[in-house]
Chain A
């Protein structure tokens, strides 16, 4: 079974600064997807960014980018120019590409990000 570990329960960053959230995962599969989800106080889960394991290039979405290290099974999220609206719980998640098991997202325990004005 796959596991996802987020070792930083809480992080804080000054507005306009850069912060990196860490995520490691364990799997025996070679083909999968990795995700970062954001959960603001409204509780709505919002997809931030997605990485396909077979793509070597790191995914980017505006101020959000990832550092995907497949051999190390590491998938960190970098938020540049942090804004007050970035304050939220961030979850790292894994999903296999294999059929049969492809429906299940496995989530980490989350990192609570505070943005300081």
Chain B
């Protein structure tokens, strides 16, 4: 099994450009998450989807939108990229939304906004 996959692995954007980060999981998980990791910090939750058809804001949602395309896929969109969005982005999934379910993480996307 591939687990959680993310594309692209690296991306450089200019300020104001838009892009979509893709995430897919093949574990038949119900819940999916997007995090960002800035230097010297732990991961912070941007958005999550507890189940197909639902999305909710996390700790740092400003400047982002998400789409739960189907049970497998959860995309993160930057409509107008800003240098403050330079970060490493991680997608994760879990069988359910509660804390007893382990979250499985993708390999991350390193995004640089110049």
Q: In the complex the two chains form, is A103's CB within 8 Å of B48's CB?
A: yes
Q: How far is the CA of A104 from the CA of B108 in the complex (A)?
A: 18
With A103-B45, A107-B44, A109-B42 known as contacts, the answer to whether A97 contacts B99 (CB < 8 A) is yes
Q: In the complex the two chains form, is A93's CB within 8 Å of B99's CB?
A: no
Q: How far is the CA of A44 from the CA of B2 in the complex (A)?
A: 13
Interface residues of A in 43-90 (CB under 8 A from B): 43-47, 50
Instruction: List chain B residues, Cβ under 8 A from A43.
Output: 88, 107-108
B74 at the interface (CB under 8 A from A): no
- Count residues of chain A with CB under 8 A from any CB of chain B: 25
With A96-B99, A108-B42, A110-B42 known as contacts, the answer to whether A103 contacts B88 (CB < 8 A) is no
Closest to B106 in A: A44
Instruction: List chain B residues, Cβ under 8 A from A93.
Output: 42
Q: How far is the CA of A91 from the CA of B100 in the complex (A)?
A: 18
B40 at the interface (CB under 8 A from A): yes
B residues contacting A by CB (< 8 A) are 31, 33, 40-45, 48, 50, 56, 58-59, 88, 90, 92, 97-100, 102-103, 105-108
* Inter-chain pairs besides A42-B107, A104-B48, 11 sampled, C-beta below 8 Å: A4-B42, A32-B99, A43-B107, A44-B105, A44-B107, A45-B90, A103-B58, A105-B103, A107-B41, A109-B42, A110-B41
Nearest 4 CB-CB pairings of A with B: A107-B42, A45-B105, A95-B99, A43-B108
Q: List 26 A-B contacts (CB under 8 A).
A: A33-B99, A33-B100, A42-B107, A45-B90, A45-B92, A46-B105, A91-B42, A91-B43, A95-B99, A97-B99, A102-B97, A102-B98, A103-B31, A103-B33, A103-B45, A103-B48, A103-B50, A103-B56, A103-B97, A104-B48, A105-B43, A106-B42, A107-B42, A107-B43, A108-B42, A110-B42
A residues contacting B by CB (< 8 A) are 4, 9, 32-33, 42-47, 50, 91, 93, 95-97, 102-110
